[in-house]
Amino acid sequence: MPARDARVTAAASPVGALRVCWRCARPNFLVLAPLCAGLAVTSAWLDGRAPEGGAILLVLVAALLAHAAVNLFNEHHDFASGLDATTRRTPFSGGSGALPAHPGAARVVRRAALACLAGVVVIGAWCLWRAGPALLAYGLLGVALVVAYTGWLTRRPWLCLVAPGVGFGTLMVVGANHALTGAFSATALVVSAVPTLLVSALLLANQLPDIEPDRRVGRHHLAIVLGARRAARLVAALVLAAFLVVPLGWAAGRLPGEAWAMWLAAPLALRLVVGLWRLPSEVEDGELAPLLPLLGLNVALLLATLGLLNLGLWLAS
């Protein structure tokens, strides 16, 4: 049996298809969703509100499903467009490699993406019934971002930059807080600025290794427009801006002193910013060796920062 036929047969089995879907959902990165949704919970506690445990669980599940849906749609689109065949895969970019290894599972992966999105819609409908029609704006924009990101937003540089941050920051923190409490929270809005900036920085950084393959399939994001070194410096600026949120919010009386716990990650941030600012010119020619350690550091910084901010808000509540 030819190797490709063997891969198709293996993926056609229910267990094989589930394994491919699991890999395409990028489980190693899904921890980001509960950390962002967690800020909706801790900011609600800080405001003196106590959401029900069941509601918190549903919000966290919706966040996970939304993140998985984005990853599944992205993996399917990159496989169908031929991008997967031209990228140099890294632990942080280039996809999971599951569909190129098991092409027969492409339809199942797309169905899994739609199923995850349907789960988000169902939970969103429950939140809408519970918290009122104001949530409809969050929900419609969130679904639009999930569906449009890979195929449409990656061709519009500035929208491609802000869309991930808006999804994981503004919508996932402010929208989930509203769903849990039934009211808009200025605290949640201030807190959401941290993941908004850091997630946009993460996605821009992860586009740096794929500049040439992305260009060939018609994408037009800021890494392509600016080039690797200038885009890396924009990532550094976004990281610095995220760390200014706490002192500014604290000075304005919007954040408690405990939110400064986030600054325990400042040494990591400084190391990342310096590394990005001093990237050698070789990265413009596709040399990934100087970049890969910084991409790993960027992921670690994002997760540590959000975890520490959650901890600080919990301690203050």
Which tens digits make up the pLDDT trace of 148-171? Answer: 887 788 899 999 999 999 999 999
Span of 78-92, 157-171, 278-292 with lowest mean pLDDT? 78-92
Average pLDDT, the chain: 91
At residue 8, the pLDDT reads 47
Give, to the nearest 10 degrees, the angle between helix 135-148 and helix 53-80: 30
C-beta of residue 227 within 8 angstroms of C-beta of residue 279: no
User: What percent of the chain is predicted at pLDDT more than 70?
Assistant: 96
* pLDDT at position 12: 54
Angle between helices 228-251 and 292-316 (to 10 degrees): 10
Q: Which one is predicted more confidently, 85 or 227?
A: 227
Beta-carbon contacts of residue 52 (< 8 Å; ≥ 6 apart): none
CB 177, CB 54: distance < 8 Å: no
73 vs 312: CA distance, rounded Å: 34
Task: Please write down the HEC assignment for all residues of 109-129.
Answer: HHHHHHHHHHHHHHHHHHHHH
103 phi and psi angles, rounded to 5 deg: -60, -25
Asked if residues 107 and 20 have their Cβ atoms less than 8 Å apart, the reply is no
255 Cβ contact list (under 8 Å, min separation 6): 187, 190, 191, 246, 249
pLDDT tens for residues 108-143? 999 999 999 999 999 999 999 988 888 899 989 988
Tell me: the pLDDT tens digits for 193-249? Answer: 999 999 999 999 999 998 988 898 888 899 999 999 999 999 999 999 999 999 999
CA-to-CA distance for 232 and 234, rounded, in angstroms? 5
| pLDDT for residue 309 | 98
pLDDT attached to residue 5? 47
Any idea which residue has 């992921």 for tokens? 299
Residue in the block written with tokens 């901890």: 311
DSSP string covering 200-237, please? Answer: HHHHHHHHGGGHHHHHHTT---HHHHH-HHHHHHHHHH
Residues 6+ apart with CB under 8 A from 141: 166, 171
pLDDT in tens, 10-24: 455 777 888 999 999
pLDDT (0 to 100) of residue 218: 87
Quick check: 284 pLDDT over 90? no
Distance (Å, whole) CA 65 – CA 61: 6
Stronger pLDDT, 9 or 35, i.e. the higher one: 35
| pLDDT range class, residue 3, cuts 50, 70, 90 | very low
Would you tell me how many other CB atoms lie within 10 Å of the CB of residue 248? 13
Q: How far is the C-alpha of 101 from the C-alpha of 87, rounded, in Å?
A: 14
Is 33 or 11 the better-scoring residue by pLDDT? 33
Higher pLDDT, 9 or 204: 204
pLDDT at 6 over 60: no
Report residue 89's pLDDT band, with 50, 70 and 90 as the boundaries.
Answer: confident
Q: What is the mean pLDDT of residues 53-63?
A: 95
Binned at pLDDT 50, 70 and 90, residue 9 comes out as: very low
**pLDDT at residue 84, as a whole number:** 80
Asked if residue 99 lies in contact with residue 79, where contact means CB atoms within 8 angstroms, the answer is yes
